[in-house]
Amino acid sequence: MRGHDILLVLSAAFAAAATSGEVFAEASPATSAIIVKTMTLDEVVAPDGSYTTTLHVERAATNQSAAQKIAQQRVEYSESLETAEIAEAFTRKTDGRVLEVDRSRIFAQAPPGSPVVPMFTDRKQKVVVFPNVAPGDTVVFTIRRTHKPFFPGQFFGGDVFQPEWAFEDVQERITLPKSMTAHIEVRDVEHHAEEDADNATHVFVYRNPLPPAAAAAALSPWDTDPQYYDFDLC
């Protein structure tokens, strides 16, 4: 996941942040350095455009360098518009042991670059440090967030999946009140809608367990890669 540009800032793109480009730098045709075994995202949107997000990710490393990279997770948020809670975080060892993240190893800090202009941003990030991550291990985390609307009565969301990364199972759900008109576009991502009396839920499914080798990128991932985005108005 996870080059999300403006949609990353606005919404589900935290999913992409959860699996950022740096941690997937070692992909190869035979074995991806990092494998996203499970990723689920549930977003529930209110009529005023505010929404809550629950993101669950399980990802495994196949070599030492990748293990070092997934041993930290950064969650960026705006102090004035969002909250971010680490609901669970642990390392699952290859022998089945579960090593919980010490809560003292979850801390907030300014994101890179912002200390030089603190008066112009309220962006912060929480850093989660996973214990004893080795090749073959899986790091697991669940993050709950709340978001005020950037524009009242409107919601923006989306995600992009770089095709050279290994995704075994991704399911992302956006639930909207029927009073909102949804404008949705997908590319190489399964999409279907479910409805009840009051809401419509858009479900996006993506799998790519055996990715090809990474090719040199001449364009933004938003121009070429599997993706979806959702723009909704009251």
Average of per-residue pLDDT across 134-147:
97
- With bands split at pLDDT 50, 70 and 90, how would you rate the model's confidence at 150? confident
Question: What whole-number distance in Å separates Cα of residue 191 and Cα of residue 69?
Answer: 31
Is residue 152 classed exposed, middle or buried when 0-12, 13-18 and 19+ CB atoms within 10 A define those classes? Answer: exposed
Q: Tell me, what's the pLDDT at 191?
A: 95
pLDDT grade for 99, boundaries at 50, 70 and 90:
very high
Residue 141 C-alpha from the chain's centroid = 11
Q: What percent of the chain has pLDDT over 90?
A: 53
Predicted confidence at residue 156, as pLDDT, reads 87
Confidence of residue 3 (pLDDT cuts 50, 70, 90): very low
Q: What is the pLDDT of residue 24?
A: 42
Q: What is the pLDDT of residues 11-24, one digit of tens each?
A: 333 344 444 444 44
Instruction: List the beta strands (DSSP E) in the chain.
Output: 34-45, 51-61, 72-78, 82-92, 98-100, 106-109, 123-129, 138-147, 154-160, 166-177, 181-187, 190-195, 199-208, 227-233
Domains of the chain: 5-233 (2.60.40.3140)
User: Residue 189: is its pLDDT beyond 50?
Assistant: yes
**What pLDDT score was predicted for residue 100?**
97
Q: Is the pLDDT of residue 4 over 80?
A: no
Output the pLDDT for position 52: 97
Task: Please determine, for residue 197, whether its predicted confidence score (pLDDT) is greater than 80.
Answer: yes
Mean pLDDT of the chain, nearest integer = 81
